[in-house]
Structure 1
């Protein structure tokens, strides 16, 4: 099966934006946001399309509309997430006044709902959009409260945020093709969402640019494990997180601390956890009653993170 390219998804989404919003300034703003997101790739939309095909969906117009709706919704939440965290400084929406970026996010949520309603006669996929969004907001709430102090609280937050949004993408495709829920799909999509988030958190703990998680005092699994380490660098890290030392003082030691972090058991531990989630998800995909060709593509994609 030929999965939609990022160009196809982006073009369709831009066409719908032009049709639905008559204000030139708003259209220009949303188009800039979509173009920025397209550079990253529309991976959630790919999962929606694969699951639509997995269970026999054949209408490419339905598939494209649902894929674009999912990506519009994910983009809206990405914008809000970055604004709330004051992260993603390189993103297009971070260059705009906060009020305009927030309004753009609201527009994309409304657009996603409207687009999905056009191809969802039963209303199940739209309901799933709402349910997953509420669960993701719950996870984000705990992330913003910085209440993540243990493995358990981290994984609960990640299941609510990344897991539920991956499940949204997979279940939208499933519901539009089957007309009913599939608990196995729901289970492995949450596990794969957790694996994907762990992969991102490992990368973001070690990058040296301004979006580094440690620099922003984020509480991810790699960071939690680094904070448990012993030694001078770990002490500096704990002092930084407890605000005993300033960001400027921390930055003077940044390179040494990140070199220590990259070789630490914290990263190894996080990588193993990611692999466990990954393998659990792949094992469940193999048990799904769907097209073998599509299952192979799903597994290949899951193994790539």
Structure 2
């Protein structure tokens, strides 16, 4: 059995033993099958760090840690969709807010409880809990800033994304690496943060280019490309600036106005700006990894991690 299926089985087992209410249990199991059957890139990051930085490999411990990482991401994704009112076709879109909150809180408690079952020292267990506590709380603070939608500058965006996305990537990397020397852990935290920024920039660009951004426009969400237009003195961007900084509703625009609006968003330079910034953080990410005392093989594994 491959590790992918082992993670699904471990996560499903934790849900079955923890949620005694049948409907709640079935919803949570459905979420796991939906999310983990699609991709486990998050836990693959954890697995890469486990294989590189831990002196000895314990398969049962490894699967437990990879499962915890995936469940934390699942809880975060559900909460993010609920707060953005953007669940789309995800299965939690068909479940009430109250019950989804029960599932999210339950999953996070399950993750912390499962640490007790891992065959490792009490010191390491405490370190794992503290790592999860610290970084999930940072991510929640970043999500608060994102929801507040009060950022106006690129620097504020980077700070918000570092908390919201960078902290989650830190969870994946640090849980895998384990309790190693402080200097190496600091470097892992630094490049994890860069990777979180890269992931969010790519997500912003993807939503803009693929047309998945209508709800973001309606709620006037200030993503990175939008901030580009809001901070440029260009007459072509005035309709965008007036809309995002004023009281105009998206529904008040005519078809012609929305067409020009969308074309300007996509072709006005915001996408190119995001790609340049992405390349800057890719350079920082690679530079940090190349400064680690690792073999070229292990450095390549880290540099080529998928997010």
**Would you call these one fold, judging by a TM-score over 0.5?**
yes
Matches within 5 A, 1:76-225: 76-119=75-118, 121=121, 122=124, 123-175=126-178, 178=180, 182-209=185-212, 213-225=216-228
Query: 1:49, 1:3 → 2: CA distance?
Result: 13
Query: 1:251, 1:153 → 2: CA distance?
Result: 33
Distance 1:14 1:255, change over 3 A: farther
The TM-score with structure 2 as length reference comes to 0.88
* CA-atom RMSD in angstroms: 2.4
With 286-295 and 79-88 compared, the bigger mean Cα shift is at 286-295
1:260 pairs with one of 260, 264, 274: 264
Residues 80 and 105 of structure 1 are in contact (CA less than 8 Å); yes or no, is this contact kept in structure 2? Answer: yes
Deviations 1:86-127 (A, max 9, x none): 123222212211101111101111111122332253210111
The residue number in structure 1 matching 2:22 is: 24
Moved over 4 A (4+): none
Residues 218 and 249 of structure 2 are in contact (CA less than 8 Å); yes or no, is this contact kept in structure 1? Answer: no
Residues 166 and 189 of structure 1 are in contact (CA less than 8 Å); yes or no, is this contact kept in structure 2? Answer: yes
The residue number in structure 2 matching 1:35 is: 33
Deviations 1:123-155 (A, max 9, x none): 101110000011111111111211211111111
Query: 1:277, 1:222 → 2: CA distance?
Result: 16
With 249-258 and 120-129 compared, the bigger mean Cα shift is at 249-258
The residue number in structure 1 matching 2:229 is: 226
Query: 1:289, 1:117 → 2: CA distance?
Result: 32
What SS is found at the alignment partner of 2:304?
helix
Runs of 5+ consecutive residues of structure 2 not aligned to the other structure = none
Query: 2:145, 2:213 → 1: CA distance?
Result: 23
- The answer to whether structure 1 residue 279 and structure 2 residue 283 are counterparts is yes
Residues 217 and 250 of structure 2 are in contact (CA less than 8 Å); yes or no, is this contact kept in structure 1? Answer: no
